């Protein structure tokens, strides 16, 4: 194919014009000072029904669902954008949305996925699996969908502590931001921090890692290269591999010239001449701020060295490329798993189990980045249920978890941690929070799960 025809056929000329560029509403950012009371020398904002902490995929769907159910909903996020690992973390692609036959992550997940695809017009319209993410586009999708649902977003605000009314009830979350320390009070809280900060600090039991030492999966700092030759990138030999000895990357690693480069190099074209990379493994204690800081510095060095290696082994694609961006969030695959009323296990995964209280389905493979585990895959059309009880932390009445930190064992976690699954658990948690306020005096363990499932189905979710 001729270069011009190739560019036309992939839709790249139209791409720049297609981006919507939604602006963040200034109103959405403002917190009314009048409604803040001074109490014990700390600002207290007690206007909320549902408070979601963490604005990644799970936090966004949780906030949208809670607001849509009519709750006064606050979404607190440490960064200045929504989307978590898919935006601030620069993960370059959605894990498959289909089980090989049909889309299985539906409801809000499907809506967000469809909106996200408008930012990558070079991808085929009917593609469901491993669709690239344009992070700038995706963060404006989340901005719009969360605020249009009626939830309020508070950026640059990090959960710093949790105040308990009693051992089993969260009273307030204490957040650090430009106002200093502020207490936010709601009726029900949702932990969507990925790391389970809120639940762990509220005293919920949790597990960490895949062995007795608490070793967690490898972390990566994602990055992007611009001015890549797209034509050569797509039409040349594959660069998307782990340990394929025939690839240029493998040769670069073997040469010994690039000590910071390893064989982990997943990459996607996210726009004209821009590829985004999920590359380079680092062993990091992911709840230690010192270790995370060191990993950010090392990750940026790795990005530069990956580019040097690529220029060396694949000059036709990379000779004019440069590192255009590195992620502002470290790519943490693994930290705390908050123990819920049920722990979803790898045996459940292998048996493709369905559950009476399931709130969605998942079919991703067991993908544990440890250097020790072998991947396990389902066949086409297979999936398992995700029980609601994985979202209800043991011993705490008014708290739910959503996303990466839900209740699983270490191996099953390798499957449930991906973004489509996090979107699904977020929507269920958001709805359940409101049902707990309406039905069971904020007790998330006592809601009518049949009604939750009915509402989720009405909103388009898929499960048995
Ligand atoms: C390197 C890497 C590659 C991956 N590749 C893929 C892939 O290809 N496809 C896929 O689908 N999934 C992939 N995943 C998995 C997926 O991205 C994450 O597991 C998923 O994003 C988790 O969603 P979440 O909403 O639970 O948390 P996150 O996406 O981690 O979002 C959590 C949010 O909470 C905020 N936060 C955290 N702590 C606090 C606090 N104390 N106070 C306030 N805010 C806080 C964070 O800033 C963040 O915005 C990958 C993960 C990593 C790390």
The pLDDT, as a whole number, for residue 62 is 99
CA of 231 to the centre of ligand 1 (A): 31
Q: What would the pLDDT profile of 9-51 be if each residue is shown by its tens digit? A: 443 433 333 323 233 233 333 334 444 444 457 999 999 999 9
Q: Is 301 strand, coil or helix?
A: helix
Q: Is 208 in the pocket of ligand 1 (CB under 6 A)?
A: no
CB 318 within 8 A of CB 171: no
Q: Is 56 in the pocket of ligand 1 (CB under 6 A)?
A: yes
CB atoms within 10 A of CB 347: 11
Q: Is 286 in the pocket of ligand 1 (CB under 6 A)?
A: no
Q: How far is it, in rounded angstroms, from Cα 106 to Cα 420?
A: 9
Q: How far is it, in rounded angstroms, from Cα 145 to Cα 52?
A: 15
Residues contacting 225, CB < 8 A, separation 6+ = 274, 275, 277, 307, 310, 318, 321, 322, 323, 324
What end-to-end distance do the CA atoms of the chain give, in Å? 46
CB 52 within 8 A of CB 64: no
CA of 218 to the centre of ligand 1 (A): 14
Give the H/E segment covering residue 64: helix 57-68
Mutational test site, ligand 1, from 56, 368, 370, max ligand atoms within 8 Å of CB: 56
Ligand 1 atom with least separation from CA of 331: 53
CA of 464 to the centre of ligand 1 (A): 27
Residue that is written with structure tokens 């109490």 in the block:
39
Q: Whose CA is nearest to atom 22 of ligand 1?
A: 404
Q: Is 302 strand, coil or helix?
A: helix
- What tens-digit pLDDT sequence spans the chain (464 residues)? 455 454 444 434 333 333 232 332 333 333 344 444 444 579 999 999 999 999 999 999 999 999 999 999 999 999 999 999 999 999 999 999 999 999 999 999 999 999 999 999 999 999 999 999 999 999 999 999 999 999 999 999 999 999 999 999 999 999 999 999 999 999 999 999 999 999 999 999 999 999 999 999 999 999 999 999 999 999 987 776 556 777 777 878 888 999 999 889 999 999 999 999 999 999 999 999 999 999 999 999 999 999 999 999 889 999 999 999 999 999 999 999 999 999 999 999 999 999 999 999 999 999 999 988 899 999 999 999 999 999 999 999 999 999 999 999 999 999 999 999 999 999 999 999 999 999 999 999 999 999 999 999 999 999 99
Q: Is 139 in the pocket of ligand 1 (CB under 6 A)?
A: no
For 422, the token pair is 């996090």
CB atoms within 10 A of CB 445: 19
Q: Is 321 in the pocket of ligand 1 (CB under 6 A)?
A: no
Ligand 1 atom with least separation from CA of 266: 8
CB atoms within 10 A of CB 194: 27
CA of 221 to the centre of ligand 1 (A): 12
Q: How far is it, in rounded angstroms, from Cα 46 to Cα 23?
A: 28
Q: What would the pLDDT profile of 397-420 be if each residue is shown by its tens digit? A: 999 999 999 999 999 999 999 999
- Residue from 224, 242, 199 nearest 367 by CA: 242
Ligand 1 atom with least separation from CA of 402: 26
CA of 128 to the centre of ligand 1 (A): 20
Positive or negative, the Cα torsion across 61, 64, 70, 74?
Answer: positive
């Amino acid at each position: 194919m001729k270069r011009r025809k190739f560019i036309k056929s992939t839709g790249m000329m139209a791409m720049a014009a297609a981006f919507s560029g939604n602006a963040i509403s200034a109103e959405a950012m403002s917190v009314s000072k009048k409604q803040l009371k001074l109490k014990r020398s700390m600002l207290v904002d007690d206007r909320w029904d549902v408070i979601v902490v963490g604005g990644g995929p799970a936090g966004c769907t949780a906030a949208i669902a809670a607001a849509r159910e009519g709750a006064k909903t606050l979404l607190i996020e440490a960064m200045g954008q929504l989307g978590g690992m898919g935006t601030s973390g620069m993960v370059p692609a959605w894990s498959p949305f289909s089980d090989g036959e049909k889309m299985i992550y539906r409801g809000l997940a499907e809506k967000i996925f469809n909106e996200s695809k408008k930012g990558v017009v070079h991808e085929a319209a009917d593609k469901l699996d491993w669709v690239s993410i344009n992070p700038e586009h995706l963060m404006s999708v989340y901005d719009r969908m969360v605020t249009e649902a009626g939830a309020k977003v508070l950026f640059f605000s990090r959960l710093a502590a949790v105040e308990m009314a009693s051992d089993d009830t969260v009273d307030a979350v204490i957040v650090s931001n430009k106002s200093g320390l502020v207490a936010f009070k709601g009726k029900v809280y949702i932990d969507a921090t990925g790391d389970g900060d809120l639940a762990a600090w509220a005293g919920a039991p949790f597990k960490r890692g895949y062995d007795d030492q608490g070793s967690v999966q490898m972390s990566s700092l994602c990055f992007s290269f611009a001015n890549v030759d797209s034509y050569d990138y797509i039409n040349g030999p594959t660069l998307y591999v782990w340990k394929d000895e025939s690839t240029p990357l493998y040769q670069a690693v073997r040469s010994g010239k690039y000590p910071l480069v390893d064989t982990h190099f997943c990459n996607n074209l996210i726009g004209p001449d821009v590829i985004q990379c999920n590359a380079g493994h680092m062993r990091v204690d992911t709840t230690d701020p010192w270790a995370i800081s060191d990993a950010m510095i090392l990750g940026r060095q790795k990005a530069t060295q990956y580019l040097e290696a690529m220029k060396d082994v694949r000059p036709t694609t990379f000779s004019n490329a440069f590192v255009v961006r590195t992620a502002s969030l470290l790519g943490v695959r693994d930290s705390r798993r908050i123990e819920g009323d049920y722990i979803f296990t790898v045996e459940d995964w292998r048996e493709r189990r369905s559950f009476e209280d399931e709130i969605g389905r998942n079919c991703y493979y067991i993908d544990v980045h440890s250097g020790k585990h072998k991947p396990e895959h389902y066949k086409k059309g297979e999936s398992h249920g995700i029980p609601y009880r994985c979202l209800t932390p043991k011993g705490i009445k008014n708290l739910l978890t959503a996303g990466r930190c839900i209740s699983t064992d270490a191996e099953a976690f390798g499957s449930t941690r991906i973004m489509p699954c996090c979107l699904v658990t977020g929507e269920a948690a958001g709805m359940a929070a409101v049902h707990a306020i309406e039905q069971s005096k904020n007790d998330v363990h006592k809601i009518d799960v049949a009604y939750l499932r009915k509402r989720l189905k009405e909103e388009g979710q898929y499960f048995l």
